[in-house]
A = this chain, B = another copy of it.
Amino acid sequence: MAVYFVWKLIIVVKLHGFQTLTNVDTALKDWLSAWSIKQFSQIELPLADVCGRILAEDIIALDDLPCFNRSAMDGYAIRYIDSLNASQLSPVKLMVVETGEVGVGQAEQVWTGGSLPKGADAIVMLENTVRAGNFLEICSPLTPYSNVILRGEDVKKGQLIAKAGTRLTPYIVGLAAALGFNMLKVYKKPLIGILATGNEIVEVGTQVNEHQIFDSNKVVLSAMCWELGAEVIDFGIAKDNVEEISEKICQALKTVDALITTGGTSIGGLDLVPDAVNRIGTPGVIAHGLALRPAMPTGVAVIDGKPVMILSGNPVAAIIGFEIFGRSAVCRLLGLTKLEQRPVLKAVLSRKVSGVLGRKTYVRVFVKLCMGNFVVDPVSAKGSNSISTMTKSNGYVIIPENREGLKEGETVLVQMFGNIEVEV
- A127 and B12 within 8 A (CB): yes
Of B215, B345, B386, which is within 8 A of A153 by CB?
Answer: B386
- A346 and B345 within 8 A (CB): yes
- B74 and A269 within 8 A (CB): yes
- B341 and A424 within 8 A (CB): yes
Instruction: Give every chain B residue within 8 A of A215 (Cβ-Cβ).
Output: 177
- Known pairs A211-B114, A313-B113, A385-B72; A17 contacts B174 (CB<8 A): no
Stretch in A29-37, A216-224, A274-282, A351-359 touching the partner: A216-224
**A73–B52 CA distance with the chains assembled, in angstroms:** 41
User: A154: CB under 8 A from chain B?
Assistant: yes
Stretch in A197-205, A285-293, A303-311, A401-409 touching the partner: A197-205
- Known pairs A112-B313, A127-B12, A345-B343; A219 contacts B391 (CB<8 A): no
User: A126: CB under 8 A from chain B?
Assistant: yes
**Digit string of A115-131 for contact with B (CB within 8 Å is 1, else 0)?**
10000000001111000
Q: Which residue of B lies closest to A313 (CB)?
A: B113
Q: How far is the CB of A406 from chain B (nearest CB, A)?
A: 15
- B171 and A387 within 8 A (CB): yes
Instruction: Give every chain B residue within 8 A of A40 (Cβ-Cβ).
Output: none
Instruction: Give every chain B residue within 8 A of A6 (Cβ-Cβ).
Output: 88
**A418–B398 CA distance with the chains assembled, in angstroms:** 22
- B268 and A74 within 8 A (CB): yes
Stretch in A77-85, A178-186, A249-257 touching the partner: A178-186
Instruction: Give every chain B residue within 8 A of A343 (Cβ-Cβ).
Output: 343, 345, 416, 419
Instruction: Give every chain B residue within 8 A of A171 (Cβ-Cβ).
Output: 220, 319, 387, 390-391, 417
18 other A-B residue contacts (CB within 8 Å) besides A112-B268, A175-B390, A398-B424:
A16-B127, A17-B127, A47-B219, A51-B227, A70-B385, A72-B385, A111-B268, A112-B313, A112-B314, A114-B200, A154-B388, A174-B319, A175-B388, A175-B391, A180-B214, A181-B204, A344-B424, A346-B374
Residues on A lying within 8 angstroms of B by beta carbon are 6, 12-13, 16-17, 46-48, 51-52, 65-66, 68, 70, 72-74, 88, 109, 111-115, 125-128, 149, 153-155, 161-162, 169-175, 177-183, 198, 200, 204-205, 208, 210-211, 213-217, 219-224, 226-227, 232, 234, 266-271, 313-315, 319, 338, 340-341, 343-346, 374, 385-388, 390-391, 398, 413, 415-422, 424
